[in-house]
Amino acid sequence: MSGFTREDVSFDSHGDRCAGWLYKPEGVENPPVVVLCHGLGAVREMALDKFSERFAQAGIAALSFTYRGFGDSEGEPRQLLDIDMQHADIRAALTYARGREDLDGTRVALWGSSFGGGHVMAVGARDRQLKAIVSQCPFTDGLASGLTVDPLSSLKISLRATMDAIGAATGGRKARVLLFGSAGQPALMTAPDALPGVERLIEGLNYPQWVWARVSWQITRYRPGKQLKNVQCPTLVCICDADTVAPAWAAKHYVGESPNADYRIYPCGHFDIYFDDAFERAVADQTAFLVKQLGVVQSEVAAAA
């Protein structure tokens, strides 16, 4: 495998700075680039480095970043998860990647995981310049994912979302929800494997584990899988067959409606794909797909190693 460098970078999105990492393969001149988008309320430190490193070792530059309002990116209010804003951040990241003189801005791909896996479908449906998309354990349908949340949790989330929306509009008291938790808690993810799965992802991070509650109304209405049929570039959808957060059946349904998408099935849960054997299988498939679609010449990568 070839070596790579990692550079701290940032780019503007509607007046705020999004912080990111740019991984570049050593010895490869003007490599193609893939932009990586993380999941629900997450930050790039939650496993995006592992995927970025593998892509860079294969001769593909990788730009991973954190959305506005989260982590070390700018933006107020903090921990406000807004779908339209995150789409805008992805488009800003693509603009930044395409504008760098040390990258090949004509060979650009999108990669997204979980909530980001849905975002890349929605953004990719309108971007005709993309060469490829990878969508991993994707959130494709808010109604389908909503059914995975404990009923008592759903009720508590709904009450808090109403309070939060009123408070945001009037300057009154606002309300939070947890990103993950046990059944009965006001949490967006309450499946049995959600708590240990996310805790493994955030190990060692000083990470706020909540967002403002009004986003739950957006999530319920959000169905990015419906946009997959409008994506014109080759798309690889990596589906976890035991996914308790983003149901596999919903992802398969939307892939079936798309003329340019194919999927791979992995025998694991939603959070397992970031680790161990599931990660190795998925990242190998994703790397091979991106190498092919972005026209990476492996002999040139090997020569640079």
Structural domain boundaries, residue 241: 4-149+222-304
Nearest to 84 by CA among 73, 69, 97: 69
Residue 113 belongs to a domain: yes
pLDDT of residue 58: 97
Per-residue pLDDT at 304: 58
**pLDDT digits (tens), the chain, 305 positions:** 569 999 999 999 999 999 999 999 999 999 999 999 999 999 999 999 999 999 999 999 999 999 999 999 999 999 999 999 999 999 999 999 999 999 999 999 999 999 999 999 999 999 999 999 999 999 999 999 998 999 999 999 999 999 999 999 999 999 999 999 999 999 999 999 998 999 999 988 988 999 999 999 999 999 999 999 999 999 999 999 999 999 999 999 999 999 999 999 999 999 999 999 999 999 999 999 999 999 998 655 655 55
Q: Buried b / exposed e across 151-169, counting CB within 10 Å, b at 16+?
A: eebbebbeebbebbbebbe
Exposure pattern of 84-111 as b/e (b: 16+ CB <10 Å)?
ebbbbbbebbbebbbebeebbbebbbbb
Classify residue 208: in a domain, yes or no: no
Determine, yes or no, domain membership for 291: yes
Closest CA to 35 of 57, 66, 14: 66
Residue 70 is given by DSSP the state: S
CATH of the domain at 88: 3.40.50.1820
CA distances for 47 relative to 22, 137, 154, 185, 270, angstroms: 15, 14, 28, 26, 14
Residue 165 domain flag? no
Is residue 180, in this structure, part of any structural domain at all? Answer: no
Q: Is 281 within a domain?
A: yes
DSSP H/E element including 266: strand 261-266
The answer to whether 214 and 181 have CB atoms below 8 angstroms apart is no
- Report yes or no: 197 and 269 within 8 Å, Cβ to Cβ: yes
Evaluate whether residue 251 is within a structural domain.
yes
> CA nearest 35: which of 50, 16, 55, 8?
55
Question: How many domains is the chain built from?
Answer: 1
Q: Is residue 134 part of a domain?
A: yes
